[in-house]
Amino acid sequence: MKKLLGLIALSITAAAGYLILAPSPIDPVAWDAPVAPAMSGVLAVNNDLQGAELLAQGKLDGPEDTAVDAQGRVYAGLHNGKIVRITADGTVATFADTQGRPLGMDFDAKGNLIVADAFKGLLSIDPQGQIRVLSSEAEGVHFRFTDDLDIASDGRIYFTDASDKFEQPDYLLDLLEARPHGRLLRYDPATGKTELLLKDLYFANGVALSANEDFVLVNETYRYRIARYWLKGEKAGQHDIFIDNLVGLPDNLQGDRAGTFWVALPTPRLADTDVLHRKPWAKALLAKLPRALWPKPQKYGLVLAINENGEIIRSLHDSSGEHLRMITSAKPVGDWLYLGSLNNDRIGKLKIK
């Protein structure tokens, strides 16, 4: 028994020594997060998301974003790098394999599926499933985490590199570090050039153009806010905050081109995380621990609708998280909203009109 206790004590001492002496994978700074807004008024809890139809349930692994073609077929990118196509009868077939991690996606005017692949960059996939890399760097800095996109009427593609330091498997390290590593970019298919519009964003995520394409929005996930970059008018080239202090972490963002933006929030705010942000030493220590010991996102489904004045006009919830949870994309197509998830096994389809 003494030998066993001695081994336990030695193991604890060794573990403590490792936590103290080993370098942390992050260089964190303190951030004093604003007090989270109450779930009241337009944010009041409901279970509207539980009315969504579930597509391909049990047949998908992390359909982070979706796209719908002219024939009504639904596409989604999965953890294994494959992009699948789901037909009306529920059949799931592989459309393409990026061998990366496909995230944001949309069809262009020519019927090509444009994809932000976390590892491969900005891709174009033709109707036959042939893949072409459009862009993988800007100003000499390689994309480490290509995330989401929107396509303007002139064909130019607005997209994000969520972090130029951490890759997709380490997105939570970016959260803990609390430094701005994200970029908003624009790709011009006519010239093949990629232009940097904004840098120093706090995890640049979802992207959406306004109805008149006079501004583009970009989610700063780890600041609970949405930034706006002006494309036209007196403010062209300037940026400001479109909406701040959201009730959760905004992920993908999609406009319906009629004045409404749909924001997917994979989890409501976690009070423990906001407190942790004030203590860089604690974040540096936590980053060394096994991820099983890290704070977990709340099991919850949440989507917001925001008008072009930056006002929340509707919220959709699944308070149980049993039907839909960890929602990372909310894509309006006609009368329907398609709901993707980073780590669920289904796509939601909810009638919104």
> How much is the pTM?
0.94
Q: Can you tell me whether residue 275 is helix, strand or coil?
A: helix
Instruction: State how far the Cα of 65 lies from the Cα of 284, in Å rounded to an integer.
Output: 31
How confident is the model at residue 293, as a pLDDT?
87
Neighbours of 205 (CB within 10 A): 30
CATH homologous superfamily of domain 42-351?
Answer: TolB, C-terminal domain (2.120.10.30)
How confident is the model at residue 295, as a pLDDT?
82
Tokens of 165: 């330091």
Instruction: Round the average pLDDT of the chain to a whole number and report it.
Output: 94
How confident is the model at residue 264, as a pLDDT?
98
Select the more confidently predicted residue: 107 or 6. Answer: 107
How confident is the model at residue 18, as a pLDDT?
53
Cβ(164)–Cβ(135) under 8 Å? no
pLDDT of 26-37, one tens digit each?
A: 999 999 999 999
pLDDT of 179-211, one tens digit each?
A: 999 999 999 999 999 999 999 999 999 999 999
pLDDT of 44-92, one tens digit each?
A: 999 999 999 999 999 999 999 999 999 999 999 999 999 999 999 999 9
Q: Can you tell me whether residue 167 is helix, strand or coil?
A: coil
Looking at the chain, the number of H-run helices and the number of E-run strands are 4, 26
Q: Among the listed ranges 45-49, 134-138, 295-299, which one has the minimum average pLDDT value?
A: 295-299
Helices (H), the chain: 2-21, 171-177, 271-276, 280-286
- Examine the pLDDT at 6 and tell me if it is beyond 50: no
How confident is the model at residue 277, as a pLDDT?
97
Contacts of 234 (CB under 8 A, 6+ apart): none
Burial class (CB in 10 A: 0-12, 13-18, 19+), 69: middle
How confident is the model at residue 20, as a pLDDT?
65
If we measure between CA atoms, which residue out of 106, 110, 104 comes closest to residue 146? Answer: 104
- What letter would DSSP give residue 108? -
* Residue 10: pLDDT band with limits 50, 70, 90: very low
If we measure between CA atoms, which residue out of 338, 333, 335 comes closest to residue 351? Answer: 335
Average pLDDT, stretch 135-159?
97
- Examine the pLDDT at 9 and tell me if it is beyond 50: no
Average pLDDT, stretch 262-290?
96
If we measure between CA atoms, which residue out of 296, 246, 294 comes closest to residue 270? Answer: 296
Note the residue count of the chain. 353
Instruction: State how far the Cα of 313 lies from the Cα of 99, in Å rounded to an integer.
Output: 39
Q: β-strands 137-138, 141-142: how paired? A: antiparallel
How confident is the model at residue 249, as a pLDDT?
97
Instruction: State how far the Cα of 345 lies from the Cα of 60, in Å rounded to an integer.
Output: 5
If we measure between CA atoms, which residue out of 324, 318, 337 comes closest to residue 45? Answer: 318
Instruction: Tell me the domain boundaries of the chain.
Output: 42-351
How confident is the model at residue 84, as a pLDDT?
98
How confident is the model at residue 149, as a pLDDT?
98
Maximum C-alpha span of the chain: 78
How confident is the model at residue 337, as a pLDDT?
98
* Residue 11: pLDDT band with limits 50, 70, 90: very low
Contacts of 304 (CB under 8 A, 6+ apart): 246, 247, 262, 263, 265, 312, 314, 315, 316
